[in-house]
């Protein structure tokens, strides 16, 4: 049995060499807020929970990250604006992993309110860790929005949410390692991309994207461990 423990990556971050030609001092190689690995003793296989907040130092070297067998960029550009990785998490039930997800924002956020309150583009990137039926994805989003919104909000979003779920179903079932991206573009709305391919024009309204973010990082998320990972928070005390 693997003992329960928490391993911090702050020492790893501190040990990274400074970029060639970069000035030395406390502003260089600032540690990432947290990367944590949690090993529940109740699981027959250890379950990894990783949470990573974006590095605030602009001199840091951007490098892809390996998580759950998937590669995630620590910075992306959307609508001409650079976004930083706010956190990574995995949706899992017992030892069955559904997907790994990454949240990219203009600035670090540790709550849904902070994330939704930011101006500028945003991206939620999902990497499937198993084959998934198209209807299953659509229904999961619909249930998540219902859990995190009032009836008034659901009524206001109904037509636009239906447009989005219809696009999931039209795209067909997804396979392991497929990428699903939910992007917000200011002044345009929410875009759905599957493996990089745009699935129709933007669906207008920032309120729709805020509701979608709440599915993952709201008060009633799909998975609390996933929420904490995407927000760069350490695992909850057991």
One of 3.40.605.10, 3.40.50.1000, 3.50.70.10, 3.40.630.30 is the CATH number of 54-230, namely 3.50.70.10
Spatial separation of the C-alpha atoms in residues 39 and 192, rounded to whole Å:
34
Q: Phi-psi category of 200—alpha, beta or left, where left has phi over 0 and alpha has psi -120 to 50?
A: left
Question: Largest Cα–Cα distance of the chain, in whole Å?
Answer: 56
Q: Are strands 70-72 and 197-198 parallel, antiparallel or unpaired?
A: unpaired
206 Cβ contact list (under 8 Å, min separation 6): 116, 184, 186, 189
User: What's the pLDDT score for residue 61?
Assistant: 52
pLDDT surpassing 70 at residue 93: yes
Residue with tokens 């949240």: 103
pTM here is: 0.75
User: What's the pLDDT score for residue 116?
Assistant: 96
Q: Return the exposure string of 60-76: e unless at least 16 CB atoms fall within 10 Å of the residue's CB, then b.
A: beeeeeebbebebbbeb
More confident residue, 9 or 170: 170
Spatial separation of the C-alpha atoms in residues 69 and 85, rounded to whole Å:
17
Average pLDDT over residues 12-23: 35
More confident residue, 51 or 194: 194
Tokens at 2, concatenated = 């693997």
Average pLDDT over residues 216-221: 96
- How many percent of the chain have pLDDT more than 70? 74
Angle between helices 151-171 and 206-217 (to 10 degrees): 90
Spatial separation of the C-alpha atoms in residues 161 and 175, rounded to whole Å:
23
Residue 60 banded pLDDT, cuts 50, 70, 90: very low
| Nearest CA-CA partner of 83 in 184, 222, 191 | 184
Spatial separation of the C-alpha atoms in residues 154 and 149, rounded to whole Å:
6
Spatial contact of 184 and 202, defined as CB atoms under 8 Å apart:
no
Q: How many CB atoms within 10 Å of residue 25?
A: 8
Least trusted range by pLDDT, from 8-12, 75-79, 104-108, 152-156:
8-12
More confident residue, 62 or 8: 62
169 Cβ contact list (under 8 Å, min separation 6): 134, 135, 138
Average pLDDT over residues 174-189: 96
Mean pLDDT of all residues belonging to the chain? 80
Average pLDDT over residues 202-222: 97
Average pLDDT over residues 158-166: 97
177 vs 76, 115, 197, CA distance in Å?
19, 26, 15
Average pLDDT over residues 139-165: 96
Classified as helix, coil or strand, 36 is strand
Residue with tokens 């693997």: 2
pLDDT surpassing 80 at residue 186: yes
pLDDT surpassing 80 at residue 56: no
Using only the alpha carbons of the chain, give its radius of gyration: 18
Average pLDDT over residues 213-223: 95
């Amino acid at each position: 049995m693997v003992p329960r423990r928490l391993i911090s990556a702050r020492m790893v971050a501190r040990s990274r060499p400074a970029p060639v030609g970069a000035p030395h001092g406390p502003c260089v190689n600032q540690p990432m807020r947290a990367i944590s690995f949690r090993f529940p003793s109740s699981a027959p296989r250890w379950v990894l929970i990783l949470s990573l907040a974006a590095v605030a130092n602009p001199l840091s070297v951007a490098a892809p990250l390996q998580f759950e067998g998937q590669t995630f960029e620590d910075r992306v550009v959307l609508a001409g604006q650079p976004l930083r990785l706010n956190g990574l998490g995995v949706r899992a039930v017992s030892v069955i992993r559904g997907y790994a997800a990454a949240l990219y924002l203009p600035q670090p956020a540790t709550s849904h309110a902070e994330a939704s309150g930011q101006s500028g583009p945003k991206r939620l990137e999902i990497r499937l860790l198993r084959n998934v039926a198209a209807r299953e994805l659509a229904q999961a989003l619909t249930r998540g929005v219902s859990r995190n919104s009032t009836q008034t909000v659901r009524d206001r979003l109904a037509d636009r949410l239906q447009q989005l779920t219809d696009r999931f179903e039209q795209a067909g079932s997804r396979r392991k390692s497929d990428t699903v991206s939910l992007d917000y573009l200011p002044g345009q709305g929410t875009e759905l991309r599957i493996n990089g391919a745009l699935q129709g024009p933007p669906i207008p309204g920032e309120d729709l994207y805020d509701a979608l973010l709440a599915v993952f990082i709201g008060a009633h998320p799909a998975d609390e461990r996933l929420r904490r990972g995407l927000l760069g928070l350490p695992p909850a005390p057991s």
